[in-house]
Structures are given as C-alpha cells and as structure tokens.
Amino acid sequence: MKDKLKVVHYINQFFGQIGGEEKANIPPSYKDEPVGAGMAFNNALGDSAEIVRTIICGDTYFNENLEEAKAEIKKYLIEVKPDLVIAGPAFNAGRYGMACGAVAEVANGELGIPVISGIYPENPGYDMYHQYAYFVETTNSAAGMREALPAMVKLIKMYIEKDGDLGRPEEAGYLPRGIRNNIFVEERGSLRAVKMLVAKINGDDFVTEYPMPVFDRVDPVPPLKDLANAKIALVTSGGIVPTGNPDHIESSSASKYGKYSISGVKDLTALDYETAHGGYDPVYANNDPDCVLPIDVLRDMESEGKIGKLYDYYYSTVGNGTSVANAKSYAQEIAAELVSDGVQAVILTST
Amino acid sequence: MKLELGKIKINDLQFADETKVDSGVLYVNKDELISILKKDDRITSIELEIVHPGDSVRIIPVKDVIEPRVKVEGPGGVFPGFMASEEMVGSGRTHALQGAAIVTTGKIVGFQEGIIDMSGPGAEYTPFSSLHNLVMTCDVDQELKQHEHEEVLRMAGLKAAKYLGEAGRNIEPDIVDSYEHKPYHEALAEFPDLPKVGYVYMLQSQGLLHDTYVYGVDAKQILPTLISPTEVMDGAVISGNCVSACDKNATYVHQNHPVIEDLYRYHGKEYNFIGMIVTNENVTLADKERSSNYTAKLAEMLGLDAVIVSEEGFGNPDADLIMNCTKLEKKGIQTVLITDEYAGRDGASQSLADADPLGDAVVTAGNANQTIVLPAMDKVIGQQNVADVIAGGFDGSLNKDGSIKVEIQAITGSTNELGFHKLTARGY
C-alpha cells in the first residue's frame, strides 16, 4: 500500500472559521490540522491522503498584499513539503478565487507541487491561474459544497491512483488548464484532416484539434506631438546582438532578451554586431546590422534635430519560434524599464 | 492526366561494384556516385554512408530528404526544372524506390536544419528513421555565400536521387498506384451529387533560404495557380528550405504528398476531389493579401464547396494561413486547416501568431516547443556541435556525454504540416 500523501489545505478567513468580511484583512497563519471542510476532506480521503496543515488568509489581505502573502505561504509550504495542495473550493468568490490561484502559482509554478482546487469557471482566478491547478468545476456559490467536495476528493484519489497522470480534462473531470501536450495518435494528420473535412461538409459533429484563441488586439496609442523633443528607443525581435552573442540568445524559441548600450555608437558594423536570429538568411544583416536595427539613421535624425534623443540602450530578442507568452513577458519588462527611463516612443523592428 | 506510381520496395541498402536493385536490395556504386557529384567544382569534399532503421546513429544537421525516382513512361523527367527539362510531368509512369532515401548533411547553412536519430526516442519523432538512408556529407568552397551553399547541396541531393532512381527503371514494382486528374469539365460532371473539394497547398517562400520550387521556379515569384495533384506526386515541387526542421516539407514529403494521397482515398465516395491550388507564403503584406485573394478567387472559380489548407513553417506564415482561411470561409467555402503549434516549452502559451474564429476546424501536428532528451548515439554523421545553435536548440543543448536536449522543433519532420506523421497536441 502506498504511503499516505501529505496534504496542505488553503482556505480563506470565512472557511477557516475566523470570521466574515470584518476579518478579511488577516494575514496568513496556519494550523497543523484540518479545519472546517478540511475535516470532511480528511474523512473522505481515508488512508490515501491526510491534511497535515491548513493555511488561512483573509481575502482582502491576500489581494492587497499579494507578494507578501505569497512569500509567507511559500515559507509555510517549504516547511511541510506536502505531496499535494488543496485550495478552496472558491466557487465564484472573486478575491478567494484569485487567492487560491496565486497559492497554486506558488505551489505548482514555483515549488512543483500539484494543486487540486474547485472553482466556478467565470471566477477570474480560473482565467488568471488555470495552468497551475486542476480545478474541479463548482457551482457559483458555497451552497454547492456538497457536490464540490466529493468531486475534488474523486480527482485527488484518481491523481494518487494514476501517479499524477490524470489524462485529458474531459476524461478526468477538471477544467482545461490551457496546456498543450503532445501525443501520438493512430491516424496521420492528413487523414484526420480529410475526415474532419467530410464531417464539416456533412454538418456532422467534429472536434477541432486546436480551438482558436481570442487574440489580443492592441489599439495604437495617439501619435507623438513633439518628435523633436522625444526620447526614442529601439527594440528588435530581429536578433541583433554584439558579436559573439554574449547572452546566448537562441536562434529560435528565445528564452531571453538582451539589453545593450549604444551610447556613443553611431553606426553598427559587421565587426561589432551580428544577428542571432535563425529565421532568415543572415548575410545582409551581418554585413550591415543597421538594416535590422537602424542606429545610423536615428543618429542622423538626432543630429538633425528631428528626434530629441536616441535612448542609450537597445533591447533585442529573437522572434523566430518564440511563444506568444514569452514575448509578452519580455515586452512587459522592457516597457516598464523604458517608461521609468522617460522614453516616449519605441521603434519595433522585426525581420 | 493519369499517373501510375510504381513502388519498388527496398528492404536493404548496401555499397557494391554496381548500382542496381536486386530482390529488394538497393546496391550503390559509391565511387561512381561520388565522381558524378564531384563534377560540381564548388564541392570540396563528399562522403557517403549508409544507415538503417534501428542503427545507433544520429544525422545532424539534416538539410533535405529525397526519394530516389525514375520516370519510365510519359513526358518529362524527375525533378523538372532542375534535373529534367521544363516538360510537364504528372502522367505516364514513374518508379519510386520506396523505403530508401538520400539524406543531405554537412556544415550548417542556416540555423534551421534538423536531426534524424535512427533509433531511440528521437526516432519516433521523425518519419525518416524508418528508411534505409544514403547519407551524403557534403562540404563546399568556403567562399560561397549561404544561399549558394544551399543550392550546391540541393542540387547534389537531387542528382543523387536521380542517379539511384535509375536503378529502378527496369524493375517490376511491387505495387502500382494509379492516380487520375481529369480535365475540369469532366471532373465536375463526374460526381454531380457529391460536394466538390479541393486542396490549397501553401509553400514556404519567405525567401533568404526559405524557398520552395515549382518546376524550378522560386515559389515566391508565382501567383497562386492550379496544378494537378499528379504533377506534385511526380516531383514538380521540391524543397530549398533552411526552415525549422520540424515543419518544413522535405522533398520526400512533397513527393509522397499525404494530403493528396488521403484526398484520393475517399474521392468519388464522400466527395469529388476536383483539384488543387498551389500558393506561397511571402513576407510583405501586399504579397500576402494578393496571394490569399487570388487563392480564394481560384477556389471560387472552380466552384469548390470545401478545401483543406496546409501551412508550411510557423509564425509569419500563420498570417497567410488565417488570410486564406477567412477569405475562403467568407466566400462560403468551408476549410480545414493543418498547422502545428508553438505553445512554449510548458505548453501554456497561445500556439499561433494569428488566429480567427472562422478557423473552427484545425488539425495540429503538435507543439514544436516541447523538449526532448536524445540520448548519445554510437555514431554521429555530420556535426553534433551545431545542436546549440540550430532552431530548437539552446545554449547547453549538447551535453558532455553526447546526449542532446532540444525542442522537437530540431527534429526533421516531427510536426510536418502536410500531416505526414502521427504526432498531435491536445488541451490539458
């Protein structure tokens, strides 16, 4: 027989039996025993798993002191080293759902501990943190506890039986985590396409293998009114780096970006710069890196007074094969630095 | 146009004094082939090696894979526009040495070349590990620019495939598959009650080492046009790509086009397969708009009810895929798309660089960002040290023990978007 799994349970102040809204400001604390619904979990889990610690935090405190709460909870988790974390269920309580999600991010994203939770699909905590937990779908209010609890217990038991390999969401009974996993199937892709085409023509049911995402569309900001006094930065996904690619930015699927000083640089030469990008013939870019990152033209415009100043650094990554999520996170970091350095506009160059 | 494709099954490949096929064994006169290839004075060194399925061998960096073929009846020859005249192919009879292939390797040309492991976990991901491969390691004059380097290797690969194919000229094939593409008025009249379907074949044409050739013409210079499926099956389209190995169409896959084969399977039963449109994936917005407009127009002119659209490559061409899809759907022509995904190593990112709700029927060939550890092989043909820089590799990909951790993007044919392989991805 397998050893009992060590479980930590996260709940808010209300389910932690501390109090209602008036206690929503309490910081994280813990008890090394099941609390409230935790006792029902423990009974139902029997010999398979046991809640050894319950972490309780006020919903308002958690959301208003996110980093502090996460750091404290991480500490509590490291002390116990649980095999599994149960969070909630949060139903449609927005702040509680966000807290359960953030706990999942710490436990699963940072510590690699699996998390099972319960949530109403429209809770923003699901949208934001779905990749970190196996969320069982619940009703929108705590009145659904009678259904949520056995559903979560069932999933936990399945998780234990299958050594963590739960399989697809619709088979196992959790909400999709938005994670794409590769599998080999019996029929080759072309035949699947032909069969899908026949089904689509005939109006029969078929399941697309990739549901198209709703795409972010960004409205352009208004144009600059005073270019002659603006500080302009260059950011490129064309892979222009100092010769030798000091940060080892990948030729495809870049896991990082570089920030390089161009203070005093008037022209990019083949001697000092090159491209790390693997998606195009690099001959021309290596001969004259300005054709991807036009420092020469911007220096001219600077000296002619057409632009105020070229920012002292440029940022570079490789767009080739780089996931949208990575690109988005680089952009967020780069934008924050540019804003704090007083840059008013950015020229983004691709390839 | 009626094409008989005679398949001569090759069960073994060996070097010998004479190049011939005998009892399913392909014998190769190594010296003769090398002397033919060396006529190109841009080639400085060339080596030939034989590998078999199950061998502990890694080939890296792989440029192309080509099936040896010979035209035995009817107009034209193999690889028209390169190894044969501009005569139209797609009718008569062609013999293929099925089970054998030429694999070209040598110093890296671009970054986007691949890995074929003949055994171990990597072998499952590449359809070419199941073939008896004649591996050509070819180095060229250092003065050559990358695009010239690519051309030398491309031509050498085609020459070798033609040379080997000749060995099948007088051999009785094990199987003869027959494919017919009738003139449109006959094709349209043949099954009047069945829905009319077609195929939109997108070719990688971003340029700068991202090229595909149709009868020797660089596809970025074409307007979308009609081509008979039998012409494609007869070698009218070949690869000149240094695009990520996982989802570039090796010449072998163009020759053994799985979408065309599978559309013929249910032709006359579930639908009437009318024909196909070949189009490109150029880089400028104007080119993308023109080509997708033209493609949708051709489909409308043919009176098609539904089409399969396949992409080649990723990122930039995702825009072409979505333009083709939306413009066809808005004309009332239903689409099924074949693509692959770049969902990040954790699989959590959105997978395509463009998307539209009209693309509601998608077949995916898998997430190319997924990583894999390829254990060390007893033998490496080519240069293993490029593992850190090929597309899909990263700093530290190559370990001291000879194992390699890479994204499957680096494995030749792993996420082929003609649906040649059985890998796919699902939401979890």
Residue of chain A whose alpha carbon sits nearest to that of B349:
A325
- Considering chain A, what is the average pLDDT of its residues? 93
Q: Does A307 map to a domain?
A: yes
Residue B209 and residue A280: Cβ atoms within 8 Å?
A: yes
Q: Which residues of B120-143 are buried (b: 16+ CB within 10 A; e: fewer)?
A: bebbbbbbbbebbbbbbbbebeee
Which of A152, A172, A192 is the C-terminal boundary of a domain? Answer: A172
**Residues B249-300: pLDDT tens digits?**
999 999 999 999 999 999 999 999 999 999 999 999 999 999 999 999 999 9
Q: Is A196 within 8 Å of chain B by CB?
A: yes
- The token duo for A316 is 């570079």
**Residue in B259, B271, B357 nearest the CB of A201:** B271
Q: Does A217 map to a domain?
A: no
Q: What is the pLDDT of residue B111?
A: 67
Residues B8-14 have a mean pLDDT of 98
Residue B427 and residue A179: Cβ atoms within 8 Å?
A: yes
Q: What is the pLDDT of residue A229?
A: 95
Sign of the dihedral through C-alpha A289, A294, A300, A303: negative
| CA-wise closest residue to A180 among B428, B193, B370 | B428
Residues on chain A touching B352 (C-beta within 8 angstroms): 210, 212-213
Q: What is the pLDDT of residue A2?
A: 62
| Cα of A184 to nearest chain B Cα, Å | 4
DSSP-assigned letters across all residues of A289-348: GGGTS-HHHHHHHHHTTSSSEEEEEEEE-B-TT--HHHHHHHHHHHHHHHHHTT--EEEE
Confidence of residue B219 (pLDDT cuts 50, 70, 90): very high
Pick the range with the lowest mean pLDDT from B224-238, B245-259, B347-361.
B347-361
Q: Is A341 within 8 Å of chain B by CB?
A: no
Which CATH number is A67's domain given? 3.40.50.2300
- Considering chain B, what is the average pLDDT of its residues? 95
Which of A172, A202, A236 is the C-terminal boundary of a domain? Answer: A172
- A-B C-beta contacts closer than 8 Å: 256
Q: Dihedral, CA atoms, B70, B76, B82, B85, nearest 10 degrees?
A: 140
- Evaluate whether B372 touches B399 at the Cβ level (below 8 Å): no
Question: Which of B205, B263, B349 should be substituted to probe chain A, the one whose Cβ sees the most A Cβ atoms within 10 Å?
Answer: B349
User: How far apart, in whole angstroms, are the C-alpha atoms of residue A63 and residue A61?
Assistant: 6
Residue B394 and residue A184: Cβ atoms within 8 Å?
A: no
Q: Does A288 map to a domain?
A: yes
Q: What is the pLDDT of residue B331?
A: 98
- Is the model's pLDDT at A162 over the cut of 60? yes
Look up residue B75 and give its amino acid.
P
Look up residue B137 and give its amino acid.
T
Confidence of residue A350 (pLDDT cuts 50, 70, 90): confident
Q: What is the pLDDT of residue B108?
A: 77
| CA-wise closest residue to A247 among B108, B370, B113, B394 | B394
Residue B367 and residue A181: Cβ atoms within 8 Å?
A: yes
Q: Does A213 map to a domain?
A: no
Residues on chain B touching A241 (C-beta within 8 angstroms): none
Task: Note the ipTM here.
Answer: 0.97
Question: Which of B202, B261, B262, B358 should be substituted to probe chain A, the one whose Cβ sees the most A Cβ atoms within 10 Å?
Answer: B262
| Cα of B33 to nearest chain A Cα, Å | 30
Residues A88-115 have a mean pLDDT of 96
Helix intervals (H) in A22-138: 37-45, 59-64, 66-80, 94-104, 124-129
Residues on chain A touching B208 (C-beta within 8 angstroms): 280-281, 283-284
- The token duo for B198 is 């077609």
Residues on chain A touching B343 (C-beta within 8 angstroms): 179-180, 323
| Cα of A180 to nearest chain B Cα, Å | 5
B211 three-state secondary structure: strand
Q: Write down the domain spans for chain B.
A: 2-410
Q: Is A251 within 8 Å of chain B by CB?
A: yes
- Is the model's pLDDT at A1 over the cut of 70? no
Strand arrangement of the beta sheet that strand B237-241 belongs to: B217-218, B210-214, B237-241
Q: What is the pLDDT of residue A226?
A: 93
Please indicate whether residue B391 or residue B102 has the higher confidence score (pLDDT).
B102
User: How far apart, in whole angstroms, are the C-alpha atoms of residue A87 and residue B122?
Assistant: 39
Confidence of residue A320 (pLDDT cuts 50, 70, 90): confident
Q: How many residues are recorded in chain A?
A: 351
Mark whether A81 and A165 lie in a shared domain.
Answer: yes
Confidence of residue B107 (pLDDT cuts 50, 70, 90): confident
Residues B105-122 have a mean pLDDT of 88
Residue B147 and residue A196: Cβ atoms within 8 Å?
A: no
Which of A144, A172, A200 is the C-terminal boundary of a domain? Answer: A172
| Cα of B10 to nearest chain A Cα, Å | 22
Residue A324 and residue B350: Cβ atoms within 8 Å?
A: yes
Residue B391 and residue A321: Cβ atoms within 8 Å?
A: yes
User: How far apart, in whole angstroms, are the C-alpha atoms of residue A284 and residue A293?
Assistant: 12
- The token duo for B55 is 């061998």
Q: Does A145 map to a domain?
A: yes
B325 catalytic, yes or no? Answer: no
Q: How many structural domains comprise chain A? A: 2
**Residues B160-198: pLDDT tens digits?**
999 999 999 999 999 999 999 999 999 999 999 999 999
Q: Is A193 within 8 Å of chain B by CB?
A: yes
**Residue in B112, B266, B366 nearest the CB of A182:** B366
Mark whether A20 and A155 lie in a shared domain.
Answer: yes
Residue A319 and residue B315: Cβ atoms within 8 Å?
A: yes
DSSP B112: -
Q: What is the pLDDT of residue B386?
A: 83
Question: Which of A252, A256, A328 should be substituted to probe chain B, the one whose Cβ sees the most B Cβ atoms within 10 Å?
Answer: A252
Pick the range with the lowest mean pLDDT from A193-202, A223-232, B89-98.
A223-232
Q: What is the pLDDT of residue A216?
A: 67
| Cα of B297 to nearest chain A Cα, Å | 20
Mark whether A30 and A162 lie in a shared domain.
Answer: yes
Pick the range with the lowest mean pLDDT from A183-187, B13-17, B353-357.
B353-357
Residues on chain B touching A255 (C-beta within 8 angstroms): 394
Q: Which of B138, B242, B246, B325 is catalytic?
A: B242
Q: Is A207 within 8 Å of chain B by CB?
A: no
Confidence of residue A282 (pLDDT cuts 50, 70, 90): confident
Mark whether A20 and A144 lie in a shared domain.
Answer: yes
Q: Does A254 map to a domain?
A: yes
Q: Which residues of A61-84 are buried (b: 16+ CB within 10 A; e: fewer)?
A: bbbebeeebbebbeebbeebebbb
| Cα of A344 to nearest chain B Cα, Å | 27
- From chain A residues 33-92, the ones with a CB under 8 A of any chain B CB are none
**Residue in B197, B208, B353 nearest the CB of A281:** B208
- Is the model's pLDDT at A94 over the cut of 80? yes
DSSP A108: I
Residues on chain B touching A187 (C-beta within 8 angstroms): 422
- From chain A residues 290-329, the ones with a CB under 8 A of any chain B CB are 319-326
Residue B364 and residue A209: Cβ atoms within 8 Å?
A: yes
Residues on chain A touching B243 (C-beta within 8 angstroms): 279
Mark whether A141 and A21 lie in a shared domain.
Answer: yes
Q: Is A263 within 8 Å of chain B by CB?
A: no
- What is the residue range of A113's domain? 5-172
- Evaluate whether B391 touches B333 at the Cβ level (below 8 Å): no
- Is the model's pLDDT at A78 over the cut of 70? yes
